[in-house]
Amino acid sequence: MKTFKVIGLMSGTSLDGLDLTYCHFTRTLDRWAYRITKTQSISYSKSMKDKLKNSIYLSADELLTFNNTYGQWLGEQVKSFIKTNALEVDFIASHGHTTHHQPENGLTYQIGSGQHLANACKHKVVCDFRTNDVALGGQGAPLVPIGDRLLFGEYDFCLNLGGISNISFEKDGQRIAYDIGLANMILNYITQKIDLNYDKGGQLAESGSVNQKMLDALNALDYYKLPFPKSTGFEWFEDKVVPIVDATDESIENLLHTSIHHLCEQIALQVKSNTTKQKSNLLVTGGGALNDFLIATLKTKLGEAVDVIVPSQELIENKEALVFALMGVLRIEREINVLCSVTGAKRDSSSGVVYLPN
């Protein structure tokens, strides 16, 4: 039995930091098994956070330079993670950080130069998992559903609550997945108005109440009417969501409370319209799974027909990096790691670019 020892790297849209997830994968016949052995989460400094957030406004020169320096920085973090924990590593699988995502214009871009990363940590690197799918006419996102299928097949639905919410499930023998819409991106935007990174446990949100006008405006966003395949990101948030929040003269508590009702209503709509069983189960990961008020609201909106499963904090925080590590394994093995049933591309693909250290 072959074992793959991989470090997955993920930097998500909520901009809280870099997740390093060291995992072992084994395959017996057609079944993959995983074990997460060591994890580290490195919070971004205020200046790194601001730079990543504003990278969409950089000039071409500045962005290319940032791609290199961020790749170098990733490599240095990997190097010290390996050294501190004395890890034996086959290769690194890096998502990088999305600075641009406009699949409708044929572009998606994740910074974190693979060559700089490989040279800095002296290991083989697989990265740039999204470009090929967009070149094949797909959304280039979400990509984690391949991992949902191969590693988390016992769940009817996998829901991730990061900056953006996305869902994945099997329908008629095909994996279907898409970004539902808002999650922590709107919640963090609101708490940052009072210099708070996020609303721990959803305590502020819980003490608020619904502003019906804001709830209706959010629920009426055009994105929700689009059929899948679809994906979204910061550009949509800034363009369509921020104006609604900013036009609402309400307390932080009420803004948060309303946003949570909104995002849970959208999730419940998607789950209910795709449930074929009397009783189904839904795995929730991503930082939103640690927001107690959000989870309680979601349970209420879903009702008893859906079991909401909140796993260990380790899995909540590392599932995306774990799946990118698996995608790296599949790329190295030249197997399919991006599903066109999810992204709408012309065909499935084995995506990712491999860099050798120099």
Ligand X SMILES: CC(=O)N[C@H]1[C@@H]2OC[C@@H](O2)[C@@H](O)[C@@H]1O[C@H](C)C(=O)O
Ligand Y SMILES: Nc1ncnc2c1ncn2[C@@H]1O[C@H](COP(=O)(O)OP(=O)(O)OP(=O)(O)O)[C@@H](O)[C@H]1O
Binding site for ligand Y (CB under 6 A): 12-14, 16, 160, 162-164, 184, 187-188, 198-202, 286-288, 290-291, 320
Query: How far, in Å, CA of 32 to CA of 40, rounded?
Result: 23
314-353 positions binding ligand X, by CB under 6 A: 320
Structure tokens at 316: 């909540």
Helix (H, G, I), strand (E, B) or coil at 87: coil
Query: How far, in Å, CA of 188 to CA of 259, rounded?
Result: 11
Give the distance between the most distant pair of CA atoms in the chain: 60
Compose the 104-133 pattern: x for residues touching ligand X by CB under 6 A, - for all others: ----x-------------------------
Compose the 2-31 pattern: x for residues touching ligand X by CB under 6 A, - for all others: ----------xx------------------
254 binds ligand X (CB under 6 A): no
Q: What is the smallest separation between the CB atom of 97 and ligand Y, expressed in angstroms? A: 9
Torsion of CA 140, 346, 147, 82, to 10 degrees: -50
Q: Closest residue to ligand X, Cβ-based?
A: 142
Structure tokens at 210: 């619904």
Q: Is the Cβ of residue 311 or residue 357 nearer to ligand Y in the bound state?
A: 311
162 binds ligand X (CB under 6 A): yes
Q: Is the Cβ of residue 143 or residue 329 nearer to ligand X in the bound state?
A: 143
Structure tokens at 55: 């990278």
Q: What is the smallest separation between the CB atom of 333 and ligand Y, expressed in angstroms? A: 25
Query: How far, in Å, CA of 165 to CA of 314, rounded?
Result: 19
Query: How far, in Å, CA of 142 to CA of 162, rounded?
Result: 12
Q: What is the smallest separation between the CB atom of 289 and ligand Y, expressed in angstroms? A: 8
Task: Residue 288: name its binding partner from ligand Y, ligand X, none (Cβ under 5 to 8 Å by kind).
Answer: ligand Y
Q: What is the smallest separation between the CB atom of 184 and ligand Y, expressed in angstroms? A: 3
Q: Is the Cβ of residue 158 or residue 204 nearer to ligand X in the bound state?
A: 158
Name which position in 39, 55, 94, 166 contacts ligand X (CB under 6 A): 166
Compose the 202-231 pattern: x for residues touching ligand X by CB under 6 A, - for all others: -----------------------------x
Query: How far, in Å, CA of 88 to CA of 176, rounded?
Result: 35
Structure tokens at 178: 């898409």
- Whether the CB-CB separation of 30 and 40 falls below 8 Å is answered with no
Chain centroid to CA 195: 24
Structure tokens at 261: 């009702």
Structure tokens at 140: 């280039």
- Using CB under 6 A, list all residues that contact ligand X: 12-13, 98, 101, 108, 141-144, 162-164, 166, 179, 231, 233, 320
